[in-house]
């Protein structure tokens, strides 16, 4: 094999300092700024959501609601039916009514009215004086229903039949009306509770009662 000197071509190695280097220059990448209207839109959406959340909370806590009424105790004092051509009724109930103000504002109620009825007809009522309830506060009111010598005319046939069974059903309704003080306004509100009371004529006691209001039913 002929070497490079045989052809007259001198061989001289290149110095290392003369070696060429390829250099690639990268320009810095600049991110385009996000348009300002997108930032403004996001701020508006967050602000609107916060306002709606505050309004929802305000409506939930400040919206006026009717007072809550419960019959804490009902007791039969006495019952007597005088049988004649026109039966007369002597009856006495003692009740303890709980009135609860569920709102965050004070409540001034005019009076508490408790009525008693038989077969859907009102026999009599008692009315107590009004009072003041602070926000989220409760009050207990005692009431006594008394009927002396009341003639039962319209439902005398039903009364005779109930006397034969030994149990007479009565209806009691407790109702409170008042004004709720919201800032500078007075908002009229009312609460109502109805009970069906079954009275045992023989042992002079209440055998069963069902009490109902708007949001739930109480049984005892």
User: What are the chain's domains?
Assistant: 68-219 (2.60.40)
Residues 68-92, mean pLDDT to the nearest whole number:
87
* pLDDT class of 18 with cuts at 50, 70, 90: low
pLDDT tens digits, one per residue of 115-159: 999 988 899 999 988 888 888 899 999 989 998 888 877 788 888
pLDDT tens digits, one per residue of 148-175: 888 877 788 888 899 899 999 999 999 9
At 212 the pLDDT is 85
Instruction: Determine the Cα–Cα distance for residues 109 and 112; give it in Å rounded to an integer.
Output: 8
Whether 215 shows a pLDDT value over 60: the answer reads: no
CB 70 within 8 A of CB 80: no
pTM summary value: 0.68
CB 98 within 8 A of CB 140: yes
Instruction: Determine the Cα–Cα distance for residues 68 and 196; give it in Å rounded to an integer.
Output: 18
Chain-centroid distance of CA 88 in Å reads 43
Instruction: Determine the Cα–Cα distance for residues 93 and 95; give it in Å rounded to an integer.
Output: 6
């Amino acid at each position: 094999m002929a070497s490079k000197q045989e052809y007259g071509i001198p061989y001289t190695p290149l110095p290392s300092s003369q070696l060429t280097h390829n250099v690639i220059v990268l320009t810095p990448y600049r991110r385009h700024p996000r348009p300002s209207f997108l930032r403004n839109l996001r701020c508006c959406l967050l602000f609107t959501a916060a306002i709606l959340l505050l309004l929802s909370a305000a409506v939930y806590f400040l919206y006026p609601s009717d007072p809550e009424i419960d019959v804490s105790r009902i007791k039969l004092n006495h019952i007597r039916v005088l049988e004649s051509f026109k039966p007369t009724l002597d009856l006495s109930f003692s009740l303890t009514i709980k009135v609860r103000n569920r709102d965050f504002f004070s409540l001034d109620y005019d009076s508490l009215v408790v009525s008693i009825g038989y077969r859907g007809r009102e026999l009599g009522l008692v009315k107590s004086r009004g009072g003041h309830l602070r926000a989220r506060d409760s009050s207990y009111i005692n009431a006594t229903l008394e009927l002396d010598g009341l003639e039962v005319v319209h439902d005398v046939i039903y009364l005779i039949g109930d006397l034969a069974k030994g149990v007479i059903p009565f209806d009691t309704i407790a109702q409170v009306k008042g004004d709720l003080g919201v800032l500078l306004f007075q908002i009229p509100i009312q609460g109502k509770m109805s009970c069906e009371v079954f009275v045992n004529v023989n042992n002079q006691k209440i055998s069963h009662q069902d009490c109902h209001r708007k949001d739930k039913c109480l049984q005892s």
